[in-house]
Structure formats: C-alpha cells, structure tokens
Amino acid sequence: MKRLPVTKLGLLALFSASVVFAQTDGGPDGATMKETEAGIPVTDPLVTEKCSACHTADAKGNLSRISWVRTTPEGWAQAIKRMVRLNGLAITPEESRAIVKSLSASHGLAPEEARPVMYLPEKRMLDETIIPNETMRGACASCHSYAQPLSWRRSKLEWKTLQDLHVALYSQADAQYRRPAEDSEQPTGRDPKDKLTRGDYALTYMPKVAPLHTPEWAAWSARQRNPRLAGEWLVVASVPGKGRYVGELSIAAGRQADEFTTRATLRSLTDGDTVNRTGTGIVYAGYSWRGSSTGAGAAKPDDLTSAAREALWFAPDQQSAQGRWFWGDYQEFGYDVKLVRATAAPAILAVTPGPVKAGTKGVQLRILGHNLPASLSAADVDLGAGVSVTKIVSASPKEMVVTADVAPGASSGQRHVAIAGAVLEQAFPVFHKIDYIKATPETALSRLGGIKFPKGYQQFEAIGYENGLDGKPNTPDDIAVGPVAADWAMQEFLSVFYDDDTKYVGALSPSAFFTPAEEGPNPARRFGRNNYGEVWVVATAKTEKDKFGKPLSARSYMVVTVPAYQKWDQPEVSR
C-alpha cells in the first residue's frame, strides 16, 4: 500500500471534514447560512439509514443537503461515489442501486427538465449550444460540460455551497470564479468599485434557471407512475457512416416493476443486413431508461453488434422514446435511436432512398412501416406538395414500393408522408441542387492508443445542403439533403511548423473512418514527440459541383491527442 506524506493526509482529512461539516450545518458560516426554502422530505428508510450519519434530519423529514437538491440517476450515482471516496460511506452495490432508484424518483428531474441535457448521459461529443454567455462558460464550462450543472436543481444556498466545495477541492475553480464577468451588466445598487465576478454572476443566474422547486417537477411528482413498457416497439435508428436502420424491439418485464429485458432486430436500409441484439434496462423516475445490450460479438471497433450502453428518454405517455445506444472506450460509436410503441394502427418508419430531385420522373420509393394497408390506390398515398404517386408497385404490412413524379417547380424542403391516417414527418427532402457540403463532425477529437491505452476513433460523413430562401450558405433556412459520396484526405493544420502531423497522427480510410496511431514517444518523429497533432479532414464530393464546375469540398478540424489517462466523469456509475 502506497504511503501518503503527512501533509497530503492532512489535506485529505481537511477536505473530508469540511464536506461533512457543510452537510451538517451549512458550512463555516452555518450561523448565517441557513436554508430558507422548503426542502423535499426523504421518506425511504434505506436512504435515511445510509445517509443520516452525516446528513442530519429535521422534524419535517428533511435530510440536510439531500432534501435541497434534485438530479439525474447519474448525478445521484456520482454523489454516492463521492461520499464513499471522501467520507468513508459503507454501502453495497445493491444498496447503492436501490438508493439511486429511490432518489431519482423522489429527488430527480421532470422529463421536461432532463430532455435538454440528455446528451450528457448519452455521451455525445458536441459543441454545446445551451451556454447562455461567456461568463457562464468561464464559470461552469471551463472544466466540464455545461450540462453537468444544468443536470441539477438546487436551492439558492445549495448553489452557493456547491461553489464553495469547488473552491475547496479545485484551485483552478477559485481562479475561474474570481475573474470579471465578461458580458454581464452590473446589478442595480452594486458598488461600481466592487466588480461583478464570474462566481457572483453564476450565483445569481443558476438559482433562476435551475431552482429547487419548479412547476415541471411539481406536476411530474403528482403524475409519476411505474413504467409499463412491456410489449412491442418499432425502432428507427441511424449510425454515422453506416446509414439508417428500421426494426422491432420487444420489451419484457424484469424482476422488478422498473426493470426490463429486451430483444431487438434491426435491418439496414442501405444493404439489407440484419443486426440482432439482446439486453436489459432500468427505468428511473418513470421515464429515464438506462440499459445495456449486445449482439453476436464484435469483430472490429465499430461493429454494430458491440456491447453497448443505452440511454433513452421515454415520453411521459410511454408511447415513444429517443436516445442513444453507444460503445467504445470513449463512447465514440453509437446508434441514434427512436422508438414508437407498436399498435394495431398503421405506422410509417422511413422512406428510402431518401432525397429526390425536383423534376425527377418515375422515382421509386420504398416506404417502410407497420400494419400498412395491403390494398391502396395511388391517390391514397400522400407524399407532400409537388410529389405525386403514379403507381403502387407492391404493398405489404411492412413495406410499400411506389413510383412517383416530382414536379420541376416543387419547392425544396422536407416532405411529410401520410398513408391511411399514419403520418411520418420530415420523411424525405426534395431539392433542386446541392450548393455546399459539410464534413461532419465539423470539430472532431481522436485519441492515440493501442499499447497500454485504448484508441479513440472517429467516423466522418459528408452531408449535402441546399441554400434556403435567402440564397446564402450556413444559415438557419438551409435544407439538409443528406449524405453524399465523397473522397477523403487529410491536410496539415498549420499551427506548428515542420511537425508533419498528417504523417504521424493516424490513417483515414476511404469510408472516412479514422484510426489513430499508437501512444507514446515516436523516435522517428522530430524531437521524439508523441503522434499527437492537428489536421484538416477534407471531403471532396464525387459528383456534386459548384457553379464553376469544380467538385464541392469541405473540411473538418480534428485534434488527435493523448489518451485520457484519468477519466473524471466516472463512467462506471452508469453500469
């Protein structure tokens, strides 16, 4: 066992003691820092038994700290692990799971509160768009995603206590909080000499946007019910670089009312390949599905039968869901998934091949669905304005094939498809021309590995767009046409001279799948550096051209960096 210096032991003891102290009476200013908001009582005997040693109870059934916060299942799991690590909480995995279930139900988030931050449990890598300004970016999103604090609801005092805890544990947090608020007005009545800091602003902003008590939570607390998800579901999924899938998902009841087993069959709309998966899941707070599933066995990193984690948001009426099934050491692979409960009514799942060009005659479209009528006339199939069905080629409950004409003057945009009362919104786009393409993701991250640490891969796609009514590219009215065939290459990103990043960072396949190089110093490289670097990933369209007759092209900025030697987001808490 490694011995720690006395000074380090002292610091650990100080932090642990300070955390316990804060839990019991509100921190060092306990005499003045008292809760003024009504707490949410804790009624679960197991939570009281395991938590009341540090979190004191009051006459109303509140436990200090706990009764003044709400969060996601991942948030409660992280809190339990922190209590084990810092305060010596003794708890079994079974007890921990039961407490996460209980607190997610009594001190969780409403579905409407959780949905905007679902990308956090779904492990999506993206540029956050919910950060309100640079002040909050600096205060809360310099070290972790902004979705992390927005996954919690706290009393005003709890937001202050959280900030104090950050200062105690992380020196860089104190530095971030003390910086001036960049784009925030000075509050009325504040001394102009007393400049508003990021920390000050955050303590006024977060209690407004993420308070403990909200109308959404009050409504959900009243109507929360056990999930009744057993039955047949229809699945629509897409995987970057592999295309779209449709299929069925059978959900069966598990050992408890909130536990389930699953069996899924997905069919590729590109090549007809079938993927079979089985799994299990738990539903927290009546709507938050967290599960796992696997297929026959993965033969390569991006294999669609790989063992995956599942994070789904079920609608309050328990008739639909959406989320992500993901895998990879950095959760870089995954299905984007939508579920709809299968009923006796007809349903439309997808239309393939997808985009159709205005003026096209006799285009053949496959309409995939459920319980589609077998006997229909061309007039019974509505493909949207400017698209007319000329013939029903074949019809079955799961698939209908039609031929259609697209008027030369048909307006560009997504079309809804309607058959026998069933409607699929934004089923396919009509377009006149592809004006530009994007290489997605537009900013990408890959990690070196393969010796002692796992690799972090990246899949790219080229997506075609038509300018909208304003005639300008990259504006909100542009129309996403869909994936286009492209040739791929890497180019040097000129941030450092003579580093030859394209030679060392890794390899890009013809299908735009990037495999990073190995980690560690490379003797063949100048100065013996690691294989890290920055590159442009360039897509050149094979058939689409600009007004000068040159192929359309686009590029994505990719950073290839070192492995994540330590993962701070505790990925094990969702298992």
Q: 10-residue block means of pLDDT along the chain (575 residues)?
A: 34 35 42 82 97 94 97 96 90 95 98 98 93 95 94 98 93 92 70 82 96 98 96 98 97 96 97 96 98 90 96 97 97 97 96 95 96 92 96 95 97 96 96 97 97 97 96 95 97 89 97 97 92 97 95 98 79 49
Residue 308: burial class (beta carbons within 10 Å; 0-12, 13-18, 19+): buried
Model pLDDT, residue 182: 84
- Beta pairing class for 399-406 and 413-419: unpaired
Pull the structure tokens for residue 30. 């306990």
Name the one residue in this structure whose structure tokens are 């205060």. Answer: 139
- What pLDDT shows up at residue 32? 52
453 SS3 class: coil
Nearest-CA neighbor of 341 among 323, 324, 321? 321
Cα distance between residue 253 and residue 262, in whole Å:
9
Rounded to 10 degrees, the C-alpha dihedral 138/141/144/147 comes to 160
Cα distance between the two ends of the chain: 28
Task: Quote the pLDDT of residue 186.
Answer: 62
Predicted local confidence at residue 495, as pLDDT: 86
List, in order, residues 6 or more apart from 177 with CB less than 8 Å away: 139, 163, 166, 167, 197, 198, 199, 202
Which SS3 state, helix, strand or coil, does residue 9 take? helix
Q: State the pLDDT at residue 7.
A: 34
If you write DSSP's letter for every residue of 308-344 in order, what string do you get?
EEEEEEE-TTSSEEEEEEEESTTS-EEEEEEEEE--S
DSSP state of 40: -
Closest by Cα among 206, 167, 200, 166 to 184: 200
Closest by CA to 338, choosing from 328, 329, 347, is: 347
DSSP symbols for 287-302: TEEEEEEE-S--SSTT
pLDDT value at position 184? 66
**Burial tier of 571 (Cβ tally within 10 Å: 0-12, 13-18, 19+):** middle
234-to-307, 322, 346, 398, 515 alpha-carbon distances in Å? 21, 12, 11, 11, 34
Confidence (pLDDT) at 345: 95
For position 485, what pLDDT does the model report?
A: 96
Q: Which residues contact 561 (CB under 8 A, 6 or more apart)?
A: 445, 446, 447, 448, 532
| Stated pTM of the model | 0.90
